[in-house]
């Protein structure tokens, strides 16, 4: 009997020791995790599914100049405003997505908040998760560097414009004066050397003029993309008829079609709804895609197709040109990247156009992509968001115009 | 006879505009230049001009200030002001509109468009577009 009691005592002691060890290990782990969280340079904030703050670390308290007791138990909407609360709500509703937003911090500093939903398999919470964890990084310095970069680019662009004006202007005047007053004195039957010199001068002046135009476009594009990247673009959001965007872009590019004698096919759906966005910027996108299509197409046609697809309007610019290889396709929307070998192929444009298009479309919540193959032509697509409040009907227009009367 | 005043602190741009507008001289148009806003205002108060080409960034008195003074003066407000500037941002265009600029052209500009604008204002046809 005694021996049994001793045995039980030993078992009990062993379990007690094991539990004590586990508790100590758990406490150590907890202390370790707390130390990690408390020593993070980024601010950490945890909320429950109602957006009520359940945990913060010291970095976060410091960022907002608030004590932990001022934060815990408070709703983040009341403390940090609607935009932040929306970020938290979205991360809870779609707990497998990552959402980011900028947030104002104390002492005029700026933070970037990255929110994800917390989902724990053992909890019965469907897909909604059990709360949200938000990391906030102070990006004030990065923003300042960005601002300085944009200001610098803006200043340089302005400073370049004045000498470029003189170069382009005087070149055109020289060409004009040569044509009106000098070349007329050398008729076509002039001696061979003079005739050749006149031809060369004419060609060279045209090169200076067209390169001046290219440089102007490059300066405009560099300024444009730096403003887009810095979020300094003033967007004029309005309800727009998709047809208006297309017509304006076609009007602006009609001379390009004339020059290359390409057929232009217009395939615009009827009953197109209004879309919402910055009209001039959408026109800029279509002009860019149409110009690219003409630039890389020697024979055949360019089609502009506009269709309603679900809750969006999809615009397609389809050409029968040289196409893009699979390797190049991944990079066409990157800055200064064009299809082909940049060392051997002369660049045909600024190399910024598609990158600008991507920024514009994505700002509006749309998508832009390309389908292409070498020698198979290219199809560029982008989507526009429908303004559900407006209704609009128009007759379907499908016509084919050859020779540039686009 | 119509008169055009070219206001720019850059002598190369003044020279360029004088040469671009040369075809108008054959139609009796008088061209004058000013290197800053103060000299421009003195000239405009002294004699009557039909068009002013106005740069924005100039020492002493900038283009916006010159335009504001001209457009707020009953004697001068009808002068057609063409703002010719390297500043092409929306905020600058809006500022120009607010002070009464009639036409806003960004550098580098298209010569044919510039001549076309002057032809329209003065109702004169030059040979540039032929």
By the 8 A CB rule, do A288 and A220 touch? no
pLDDT digits over A164-178, tens only?
Answer: 999 999 999 999 999
- Residue A130 is predicted with a pLDDT of 85
Tokens 């009990």 belong to A12
User: Which of B57, B95, B107 is the best substitution to test chain A (most A C-beta atoms within 10 A)?
Assistant: B107
pLDDT digits over B72-98, tens only?
Answer: 999 999 999 999 998 877 788 889 999
pLDDT at A78 over 80: yes
* Across A276-286, average pLDDT: 93
Confidence of residue A386 (pLDDT cuts 50, 70, 90): confident
CA angle, corner A204, sides to A199 and A209, nearest 5? 130
Taking each helix axis as running N to C, give the angle between helix A192-229 and helix A140-177, from 0 to 180 degrees, rounded to the nearest 10. 160
Q: Which residues contact A102 (CB under 8 A, 6 or more apart)?
A: A110, A111, A112, A113, A139
Residues A204, A210, A215, A217, Cα dihedral to 10°: 180
Of B20, B88, B128, the CB nearest to A169: B20
Confidence of residue A128 (pLDDT cuts 50, 70, 90): low
A158 vs chain B: nearest CA distance in angstroms? 5
Asked whether the beta carbons of residue A165 and residue B16 sit closer than 8 angstroms, the reply is: yes
Give the DSSP per-residue string, A258-295: HHHT-EEEEEE-SSPPPEEEEHHHHHHHHHHHHHHHHH
pLDDT digits over A7-23, tens only?
Answer: 889 999 999 999 999 99
User: Which of A165, A223, A226, A235 is the best substitution to test chain B (most B C-beta atoms within 10 A)?
Assistant: A165
* Across A271-297, average pLDDT: 92
pLDDT digits over B15-56, tens only?
Answer: 999 999 999 999 999 999 999 999 999 999 999 999 999 999
Asked whether the beta carbons of residue B16 and residue A170 sit closer than 8 angstroms, the reply is: yes
Residue B73 and residue B78: Cα distance in Å, rounded? Answer: 9
Of A158, A169, A173, the CB nearest to B86: A158
Burial classification of residue B89, based on how many CB atoms lie within 10 Å of its CB (0-12 exposed, 13-18 middle, 19 or more buried): middle
Confidence of residue A390 (pLDDT cuts 50, 70, 90): very low
E strands, A84-236, where?
98-104, 110-118, 131-138
pLDDT at A54 over 60: yes
Of the listed ranges A243-247, A332-336, B32-36, the one predicted with least confidence: A332-336
Burial classification of residue A97, based on how many CB atoms lie within 10 Å of its CB (0-12 exposed, 13-18 middle, 19 or more buried): exposed
Q: Which residues contact A18 (CB under 8 A, 6 or more apart)?
A: none
- Residue A311 is predicted with a pLDDT of 85
Of the listed ranges A213-217, A311-315, B30-34, B111-115, the one predicted with least confidence: A213-217
Of B16, B86, B90, the CB nearest to A161: B86
- Residue A405 is predicted with a pLDDT of 33
What order of strands is seen across the sheet that includes strand A131-138? A53-56, A43-47, A131-138, A110-118, A98-104
Report ipTM for this prediction.
0.89
- A94 or A169, higher pLDDT: A169
Confidence of residue A399 (pLDDT cuts 50, 70, 90): very low
- Residue A268 is predicted with a pLDDT of 92
Tell me the H-state helices in A132-190.
140-177
Asked whether the beta carbons of residue A162 and residue B10 sit closer than 8 angstroms, the reply is: yes
Contacts of B128 in chain A (CB under 8 A): 176
* Across A95-100, average pLDDT: 86
Count of A-B CB contacts under 8 Å: 44
pLDDT digits over A336-357, tens only?
Answer: 766 554 444 444 667 889 999 9
pLDDT digits over A29-45, tens only?
Answer: 999 999 999 999 999 99
Q: What is the mean pLDDT of chain A?
A: 86
Asked whether the beta carbons of residue A159 and residue B107 sit closer than 8 angstroms, the reply is: no
């Amino acid at each position: 009997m005694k021996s049994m009691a001793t045995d039980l005592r030993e078992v009990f002691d062993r379990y007690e020791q094991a539990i004590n060890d586990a508790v100590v290990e758990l406490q150590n782990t907890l202390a370790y995790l707390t130390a990690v969280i408390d020593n993070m340079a980024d601010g950490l904030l945890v909320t429950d599914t109602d957006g009520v703050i359940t945990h913060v670390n010291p970095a976060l308290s410091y960022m907002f100049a608030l004590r932990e007791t001022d934060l815990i138990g408070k709703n983040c909407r009341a403390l940090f405003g609607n935009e932040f609360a929306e970020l938290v709500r979205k991360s809870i509703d779609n707990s497998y997505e990552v959402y980011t937003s900028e947030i104002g911090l104390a002492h005029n500093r700026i933070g970037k908040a990255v929110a994800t939903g917390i989902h724990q398999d053992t909890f019965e919470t469907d897909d909604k998760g059990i709360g949200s964890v938000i990391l906030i990084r102070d990006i004030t310095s990065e923003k300042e560097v960005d601002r300085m970069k944009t200001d610098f680019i803006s200043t340089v662009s302005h400073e370049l414009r004045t000498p470029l004006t003189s170069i382009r202007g005087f070149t055109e005047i020289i060409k004009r004066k040569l044509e009106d007053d000098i070349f007329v004195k050398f008729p076509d039957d002039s001696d061979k050397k003079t005739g050749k010199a006149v031809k060369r001068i004419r060609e060279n002046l045209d090169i200076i003029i067209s390169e001046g135009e290219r440089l102007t476009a490059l300066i405009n594009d560099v300024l444009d993309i730096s403003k887009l990247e810095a979020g300094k673009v003033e967007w004029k959001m309005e309800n727009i008829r998709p047809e208006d965007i297309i017509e304006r872009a076609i009007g602006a590019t009609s001379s390009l079609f004339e020059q290359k004698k390409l057929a232009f096919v217009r395939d615009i759906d009827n009953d197109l709804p209004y879309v919402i966005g910055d009209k001039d910027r959408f026109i800029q996108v279509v002009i860019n895609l149409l110009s690219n299509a003409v630039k890389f197409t020697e024979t055949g046609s360019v089609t502009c197709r506009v269709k309603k697809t679900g809750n969006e309007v999809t615009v397609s610019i389809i050409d029968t040109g040289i196409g893009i290889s699979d390797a190049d396709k991944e990079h066409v929307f990157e800055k200064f990247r064009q299809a082909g070998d940049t060392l051997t192929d002369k660049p045909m444009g600024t190399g910024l156009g598609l990158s600008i298009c991507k920024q514009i479309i994505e700002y509006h919540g749309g998508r832009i992509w390309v389908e292409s193959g070498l020698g198979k032509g290219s199809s560029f697509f982008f989507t526009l968001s429908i303004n559900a409040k407006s209704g609009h009907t128009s007759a379907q227009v499908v016509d084919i115009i050859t020779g540039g009367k686009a | 006879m119509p008169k055009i005043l070219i206001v720019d602190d850059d002598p190369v741009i003044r020279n360029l505009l004088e040469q671009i507008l040369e075809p108008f001289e054959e139609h009796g148009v008088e061209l004058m230049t000013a290197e800053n806003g103060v000299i421009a205002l003195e000239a405009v108060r002294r004699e009557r001009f039909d068009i002013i080409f106005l740069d924005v960034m100039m020492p002493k008195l900038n283009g916006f200030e010159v335009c504001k003074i001209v457009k707020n003066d009953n004697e001068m407000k009808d002068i057609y002001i063409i703002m010719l500037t390297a500043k092409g941002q929306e905020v600058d265009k809006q500022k120009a509109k607010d002070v009464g600029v009639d036409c806003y052209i960004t550098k580098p500009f298209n010569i044919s468009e510039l001549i076309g604008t002057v032809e329209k204002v003065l109702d004169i046809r030059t040979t540039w577009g032929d």
